[in-house]
Copies of this chain bind each other. A is one copy, B any other.
Amino acid sequence: MKKDLDRLMQERGIDVAVVRGVVKGNSTMFYIVNGAKMSHALVIKKRGEDPILLVGSMEREEAEESGLKTVDTAKYDYRKIMKDVGGDKIKAAVRYYETIFTEFGVTGNVAFYGQAGVGPNWVLLKALEEGIPGLNVMGEYDDDIFINARMTKDTDEVARIREVGKLTCETVQHLVDFVKSHELKGDTLVKSDGSPLTIGDCKCEIRLALAGRKLIEEVDTIFAIGRDAGIPHSRGNDPDPIQVGKTIVFDIFPQEQGGGYFFDFTRTFVVGEASKEILDTYAQLEECFDTVYAELKANEWGGRYQQMTCDIFERFGHETIRQNPQVRNGYVHGLGHGLGLDVHEKPRLSDFPGVKDVLEPGSVFTFEPGLYYPDKGGFGMRIEDVCYVTESNEIENLTNFPRDLVIEM
């Protein structure tokens, strides 16, 4: 939570955190400016003090929504600085930052955060390191203070994720009803004009349903059928028809409009009738889901549940990523991940070397075992719910949707 930032800065010897870059797609910036809708910003947070938001004149009203102390950057007159340094952009940037850093006492161990262009960021930080005396430019490679603060959510954040979850489940139900409203012709669903209902048609319906609920699809929804369903990140192929008996993996991760909190949800569907092979595999998936889910406990290492999942799947005879990092048929990914302003954050339910994340109270994470047979069988399946570890150490499931595999026609 945000209140953890000062402690984390203290532990890591960081005097000042500087967040830079665009706001959209920059979850660290979004977090520190409380979702205020500017395009670009610079935030200075000294340890033990409130953050200060520096922003251009044109976005002064948006900046006020942050609730932070704001400074209009027009007063630094970048145009004049550019003239003073003879038009050298890098020198101008150093002069600009130096002016601001002097005004706000930014010195010592200064760590930089946010999202930015790889080249410009490299050149800028090198120039600041060389050009501003007393400034020790720092970066955190991984697991930074914001990622750690964000690992646990406060009540408002959980309420927002819960609401996106409710709207996500509505959207999925809407799509199931949409599919059911079509007729079968042979083993293909058809529209009123007799042409096949396609993956593309379903995705269009999903987008309309999301837009009507003030949600966005930040990255393409996964709605993949048959063999594509067997490749976990395949998003599905628009022209493919919806056919009886094939698995459809529907993995949807809507975000609040304008950037904000995500949900993440997967169900697997088969229209009409499923083969014995698919039904049997799905039964194993559900058994694994329920067995491991029942073991989830607050303050445990997330990797433990990945290992339990591998144990169970291997016992059923499926190859797992633990046995073969390049596995393509079997259980091929991690069990889950934190969810918030990014679709993938901490805590990770992974036994990957170095991952030590535990399921602290306040954590919100996905739980998503799956089995994939793109080559042998041409199918795939995954079930994904979102869990919240309450302040009283209980595991609450934020996903309220049945797991029925077959959509009966």
Binding site for B on A (CB under 8 A): 19-21, 24-25, 28, 37-39, 57-62, 74-75, 77, 79-80, 82-83, 87, 89-90, 93, 111-126, 137-142, 144, 204, 207-208, 210-212, 214, 216-220, 228, 231-235, 257-258, 325-326, 328, 332-333, 352-354
Contact = CB atoms under 8 A, between A and B. Distances in A.
Contacts of A211: 204, 207-208, 210-211
Contact of A208 (B93, B140, B208): B208
A64 to B, nearest CB: 11
Nearest to A214: B204
Contacts of A219: 24, 39, 258
A182 to B, nearest CB: 19
B37 A142 contact: no
Given A231-B58, A234-B61, A119 B115 contact: no
Number of identical protomers? 2
10 contacts: A57-B326, A57-B328, A61-B234, A62-B234, A89-B141, A89-B142, A93-B141, A114-B118, A115-B118, A208-B208
The interface residues of chain A, by DSSP majority, are classed as mixed
Contacts of A325: 74, 77, 79-80
Contacts of A354: 82, 87, 89
A86 to B, nearest CB: 9
Nearest to A328: B57
B90 A119 contact: no
Nearest to A22: B25
A214 B217 CA distance: 12
Contacts of A122: 112, 121-122, 125, 137, 139
A118 B146 CA distance: 13
Contact of A119 (B62, B87, B112): B112
Nearest to A209: B211
Contacts of A83: 353
B123 A140 contact: yes
A19 B118 CA distance: 8
Contacts of A126: 139
A39 B93 CA distance: 32
B21 A118 contact: yes
A332 B214 CA distance: 32
The 4 A-B residue pairs with the shortest CB-CB distance in the complex, in nearest-first order: A119-B139, A122-B139, A123-B141, A25-B25
A38 B219 CA distance: 10
Contacts of A90: 141
A320 to B, nearest CB: 13
B141 A326 contact: no
B115 A141 contact: no
B112 A140 contact: no
A77 B324 CA distance: 10
B352 A233 contact: no
A39 B214 contact: no
B118 A58 contact: no
A200 to B, nearest CB: 9
A90 B354 CA distance: 12
A113 B124 contact: no
Given A113-B118, A118-B125, A124-B141, 5 more contacts: A90-B141, A115-B116, A116-B118, A120-B142, A208-B211
